[in-house]
């Protein structure tokens, strides 16, 4: 089964420095059909103006995966960690018992990023921040970017029963991705246009995938996909 969340159906917030689209409902007034999926409860598509960002603030008991799509993200936190992430790079922040951080657009163009929040497997873990290069090859299927599952040691570790993946497809590429009836997934088309199990999805669209052994994707254009698998 595939539940298509079209881009135009997403809740939004527009500020002078931020344009945000929400794949999951963030307040009671949001789209009631866009509820959490297992431990996955936030997926924000953010565009941050040059020189702007999120000032120092705190989190507890949440796993935050940030996927930079375009531009440069500057990260600072109360652990003393600092980093610059460019388009295609990923960071993981395990808030655990508590962490404060600030994020800003450190580049010369609008910053586009996905902010993905997951409920942790154990909420009282030590806070942690990490980023690392993860090679991706177009047309080779999904690459695991971050994971809390066995066998994904090359990915960034997260304290959650979930994995975050991405794929770069050329027009005409076909991809069969095994999922299994016991797992669910949320897929977002970061760019391009695809046919997934007979459903056409375009840039910005999301979809819940559940109750299938595998999902079948054909790239109708050059496409970038990001997906989170959960129990």
**DSSP β-bridge partners for residue 143:** 166
The half-sphere exposure of 16 on its side-chain side, counting CA atoms within 13 A, is 2
**DSSP β-bridge partners for residue 215:** 177
Per-residue pLDDT of the chain (231 residues; tens, 9 = 90+): 999 999 999 999 999 999 999 999 999 889 999 999 999 999 999 999 999 999 999 999 999 999 999 999 999 999 999 999 999 999 999 999 999 999 999 999 999 999 999 999 999 999 999 998 887 777 789 999 999 999 998 999 999 999 999 999 999 999 999 999 989 999 999 999 999 999 999 999 999 999 999 999 999 999 999 999 998
d(Cα 28, Cα 184) in Å, to the nearest integer? 24
The residue ranges of every structural domain in the chain are 2-230
Would you state the pLDDT for residue 138? Answer: 77
DSSP annotation of 34 reads -
Would you state the pLDDT for residue 136? Answer: 78
DSSP class per residue in 117-160: EE--SSTTPPPEEEE------TTS--EEEEE-STT-TTSEE-SS
Would you state the pLDDT for residue 140? Answer: 80
CATH architecture entry for 2-230: Sandwich (2.60)
């Amino acid at each position: 089964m595939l539940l298509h969340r079209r881009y135009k159906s997403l809740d939004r917030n527009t500020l002078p420095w931020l344009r945000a689209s929400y794949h999951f409902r963030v307040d009671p007034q949001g789209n009631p059909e866009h509820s959490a999926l297992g431990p996955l409860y936030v997926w924000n598509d953010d565009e941050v103006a040059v020189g702007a960002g999120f000032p120092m603030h705190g989190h507890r008991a949440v796993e935050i995966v940030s996927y930079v799509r375009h531009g440069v993200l500057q990260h600072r936190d109360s652990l003393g960690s600092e980093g610059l992430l460019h388009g295609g790079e990923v960071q993981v922040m395990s808030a655990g018992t508590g962490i404060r951080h600030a994020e800003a657009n450190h580049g010369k163009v609008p910053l586009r990023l996905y902010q993905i929040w997951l409920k942790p497997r154990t909420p009282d873990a030590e806070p942690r921040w990490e980023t690392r290069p993860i090679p991706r090859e177009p047309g080779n299927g999904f690459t695991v970017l971050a994971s809390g599952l066995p066998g994904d040691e090359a990915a960034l570790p997260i304290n959650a029963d979930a994995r975050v993946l991405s794929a770069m497809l050329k027009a005409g590429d076909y991809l069969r991705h095994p999922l299994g009836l016991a797992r669910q997934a949320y897929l977002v088309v970061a760019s391009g246009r695809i046919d997934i199990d007979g459903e056409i999805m375009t840039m910005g669209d999301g979809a819940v995938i559940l109750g299938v052994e595998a999902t079948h994707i054909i790239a109708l254009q050059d496409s970038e996909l990001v997906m989170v698998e959960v129990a």
